[in-house]
Amino acid sequence: MSAATTNAWSARARFAIYCAPARASRWWDAGSAWLGRDAESGASIEPRQAPVLSEPLAQLTASPRRYGWHGTLVAPFRLADGATVADLLEAAENWVHTQRPFALHVEAATLGDFVAMRPATPSGDEQMRALAADALRAFAPLREKPSAVNTAKRMQAPLTERQRELLVEWGYPYVLDEFRFHMTLSNSLDNAADRAAIVAWWHREAQRLGPLSIDGAAIFVEPAPGEPFMLWQRLAFTAEQEE
């Protein structure tokens, strides 16, 4: 861990536990190029190809570009009082040693008004839900509890009763049985033709890239409020496969 790096972070830095494709993988290259930014190096990337859309691709991917190419396991959080970055890293290192890598078949789909990659099968969806639930519980002691003001603000959203219960208990409504793993590809888009074009383009990309290897987790950092998230640490799943 670089002291020079961590010292540059604001006291209000946020952390997240994400799934990010391996650095040397075609999935990392393709997703980072699509969003126009490599969240690990910080470099801007021009996509080699893109579908015909109503606006430049960079305008339609501005929101997910800030977060980097990933699928969420534990949504962004600030550290609890008394918890340190070293504590977070230690917890992450301990947790990944309990997890086994696996291959995930994914597909492009419209989720509400945005487009994302998601598990292509119910079994894959359940695998990712179980992984995220395990991560949520492992990192819960290190997460700052949301303020009453923040919780009240979230309560104004159109949530189900179950989601409201989860928001009160976990500080976030889309966890456990309400969790749906996805890797965001666009802003919220009003143009249905744009959504359809992106889904079709990524359907072909998914066939070219093959299954997504879920072989580790990554700690992403938002150094200060509103800044782009950066991939700080990659940690491999190292639990032995069952016979």
pLDDT in tens, 35-94: 999 999 999 998 888 899 999 999 999 999 999 999 999 999 999 999 999 999 999 999
Among 10-14, 57-61, 129-133, which is the least confidently predicted range? 10-14
Q: Is residue 119 part of a domain?
A: yes
Q: Is residue 7 part of a domain?
A: no
Q: Is residue 6 part of a domain?
A: no
| pLDDT recorded at residue 188 | 97
Q: Is residue 2 part of a domain?
A: no
Assess contact for 200 and 51: CB atoms under 8 A: yes
Q: Is residue 184 part of a domain?
A: yes
- Higher per-residue pLDDT: 6 or 154: 154
Overall number of domains in the chain: 1
* Angle, CA 127 vertex, CA 114 and CA 202 arms, to 5°: 35
User: 188 by DSSP, 3-state: which?
Assistant: coil
Nearest in space to 186 (alpha carbons), one of 173, 197, 171, 175:
197
| pLDDT recorded at residue 142 | 97
DSSP class per residue in 57-112: HHHHTHHHHHH-S-EEEEEEEPBPTT--HHHHHHHHHHHHTT---EEE-EEEEEET
Q: Which domain holds residue 115?
A: 12-236
Taking the model in full, what pTM does it have?
A: 0.92
Q: Is residue 4 part of a domain?
A: no
In this predicted structure, the answer to whether residue 239 has a pLDDT above a threshold of 70 is: yes
Q: Which amino acid is at 209?
A: L
Assess contact for 199 and 100: CB atoms under 8 A: no
Instruction: Report the CATH number that the domain containing residue 180 is assigned in CATH.
Output: 3.90.1140.10
In this predicted structure, the answer to whether residue 1 has a pLDDT above a threshold of 50 is: no
User: Phi and psi at residue 32, in whole multiples of 5°?
Assistant: -65, -40
- The structure tokens listed for 220 are 């992403």
Confidence of residue 171 (pLDDT cuts 50, 70, 90): confident
Q: Is residue 242 part of a domain?
A: no
Per DSSP (E only), the strands in the chain are 14-19, 71-77, 102-104, 106-111, 114-119, 183-184, 212-214, 216-222, 230-236
Q: Is residue 39 part of a domain?
A: yes
